[in-house]
Structure 1
Amino acid sequence: MTVCRDCCCGSARKHPGVDHDRQLDRLRSALPAPHRVRTSQCLDVCDQSNVVVVHPAPAARRAGARPAWFGLVLDDVVADDIAAWITAGGPGRAPLGAILELSVIAPPA
């Protein structure tokens, strides 16, 4: 999983009601090894901040699965749903629930 933490994502100025550090800690706690939660600089989807990208497991990637992009990840419910989906298998391995599908965004062109 890649969590954007740059100009807009992770910004207390843009999202003052979100504890961005707590969100990152929560994701890391929910996804222990072998999962990895890393941060990145701007992913160029600032209008959808906070952005999270879930990468498929290597075998799923070889089978054709692609990363899933999520936008407006601003509360614990969405972050917890993403973590649960990853734990269930993630892209190419577990179905994406209807509620979580509402947070899916298109990657930048």
Structure 2
Amino acid sequence: MNRSVIRAANRPCTLVVCRGCCCGNPRKYPGTDHAWQLDRLRAGAAEHGFQVRTTDCLGPCDQANVIVVQPSAAGRRAGGRAVWVGFAMDDDCTGDLLDWAAAGGPGLAAPPPTLELQFVRPPREARARARG
């Protein structure tokens, strides 16, 4: 088996953190320490073995800050799908995201009930790509 196949088969849970025009924007959300949140997520990833990536824009800007929790390879095999979390700005939400990702994320662990209240639908383009 080649290395890319092995890496894909062992891919961990990944948090994709939007840091585009609205998400992570201190002018739009001055009460949120966006840099601290990203540092906290990265520290949790290093400690618990999941990944954190950033992207410019995930789309649902009216629900910023948006973070997508992508399942690990094992989570996907167990039926887990990417989960979109909106309004992810406070310490409690960040802690819930860390706990869920550390426990395995979608397909392997149930999300914290308070985090479920922040689940949002992905933008139409993402849903269309997922079906395609």
TM-score (norm 1): 0.94
Q: Separation in 2 of the partners of 1:64 and 1:12?
A: 36
For each residue in 1:76-97, what CA deviation from the matched residue of structure 2 results, as whole angstroms up to 9, or x when unmatched? 1101111101111110000122
Q: Secondary structure at the match of 1:37?
A: strand
Question: Is contact 2:71-2:81 (8 Å) kept?
Answer: yes
- Per the alignment, residue 29 of structure 1 pairs with 43
Kindly provide the CA deviation profile for residues 5-53 of structure 1, in whole angstroms up to 9, marking residues without a partner as x.
Answer: 0100000111001111111001111121631111001111100000000
2:89 & 2:78 partners in 1: Cα distance?
Answer: 31
| Count of equivalent residues | 109
What RMSD over aligned residues (CA atoms) do the two structures have, in Å? 1.1
Confirm whether residue 89 of structure 1 aligns to residue 104 of structure 2: yes
State how 1:1-109 maps to structure 2 within 5 Å.
Answer: 1-32=15-46, 34-109=49-124
Q: Secondary structure, in 3 states, of the residue corresponding to 2:62?
A: helix
List runs of 5+ in structure 2 lacking aligned partners.
1-14, 125-132
| Higher Rg | 2
Cα deviation digits, residues 64-83 of structure 1 (max 9, x gap): 31111100011111011111
SS at match of 1:31: helix
Gaps of 5+ in 1: none
Q: Helix, strand or coil for the counterpart of 2:35?
A: helix
Letter in 1 for 2:39: D
Runs of 4+ in 1 over 2 A off after TM superposition: none
SS of the aligned residue for 2:101 comes to helix
